[in-house]
Amino acid sequence: MIDLATFKQFQITGKVLTDHRYNTSHSGNISMRAGGKILIKRRGAMLGYLEPEDIIETDLYNTDSGIMLSSTETDVHRQIYLNTDAMAIIHAHNPFCVILSLIEDEITCLDAEGTYMYKKIPIIEVDNPAGPTDAAREVPKVLKNYPVVVVRSHGAFAKGNTLFDALQNITGAEQSAMIRYHIMLTGKPLKRDYSKEKFFSEW
């Protein structure tokens, strides 16, 4: 049984993602690394209404019986843990990140918080965006160097030292994407483009 403090992180994180409409009632997945184990949302569980039994434990290194109940994207989480410094992972279908992924090759942050925290948010394209196989191969490559990455047309993956760290990254990326989208709608030039001053394209 998951301990109460750990479960509260899952519960709060799932509720925030649902309340912000980053996911549908049953989509998205969140996880934590716990030694040689992964704690991850149960397949089909509702993020906004998690119960302790909705957090499944499965082995980090080998496929075990937990895989039958855990998220369909468990292998993506596993490969991120094995190939990056992530201790917690969130996958969400952030609307503005998804929108911009359909028209841009990277999301350059224009707001002060975004330019400080992320500079730019990489976008990657895979053959099967909603399938775990391609994402498990490509997402960890980017998360080695960035806190968040967007899979074109599908959604974002964010890492952190805790679920709340990853939550800050997934919500911060969406806020920067939303601000960029609305600025683009105005059609007006920026008074000052910090991204060009700081050469974010070279990151």
**pLDDT score for 52:** 95
Phi, psi at residue 171, to the nearest 5°?
-75, -35
pLDDT, residue 192, reads 80
Closest CA to 138 of 92, 200, 146: 146
Q: Is residue 194 part of a domain?
A: no
Residue 169's pLDDT is 98
Q: What is the pLDDT of residue 200?
A: 64
Q: Are 186 and 114 in contact (CB under 8 A)?
A: no
Encoded tokens for 148 = 């968040």
- Taking a C-beta distance cutoff of 8 angstroms, is the pair 143, 165 a contact? no
Mean pLDDT calculated for residue range 91-109: 96
Q: Is 197 part of any domain?
A: no
The answer as to whether 70 is a domain residue is: yes
Task: Establish if 13 belongs to a structural domain.
Answer: yes
Kindly state the tokens that stand for 92: 């969400």
CATH number at residue 131: 3.40.225.10
Phi, psi of 105 (to 5 degrees): -100, -10
Residue 11 maps to a domain: yes
Q: Give the strand order in the sheet containing 106-108.
A: 55-59, 37-41, 29-34, 88-92, 155-160, 148-151, 120-124, 106-108
Average pLDDT score over residue span 135-139:
95
Domain hosting residue 113, numbered range: 4-187
Give per-residue pLDDT as tens, 110-131: 998 998 899 899 999 999 888 7
Let me know if residue 100 belongs to a domain.
yes
Q: How far is CA 165 from the centre of its chain?
A: 11
Q: Domain tally for the chain?
A: 1
The answer to whether position 196 is within a domain reads: no
Query: 142 in a domain, yes or no?
Result: yes
Contact 105, 142 (CB under 8 A): no
Q: How far apart are CA 151 and CA 35, in angstroms?
A: 28
Closest CA to 149 of 180, 173, 128, 185: 173
* Mean pLDDT within 167-188: 96
Instruction: Decide: helix, strand or coil at residue 157.
Output: strand
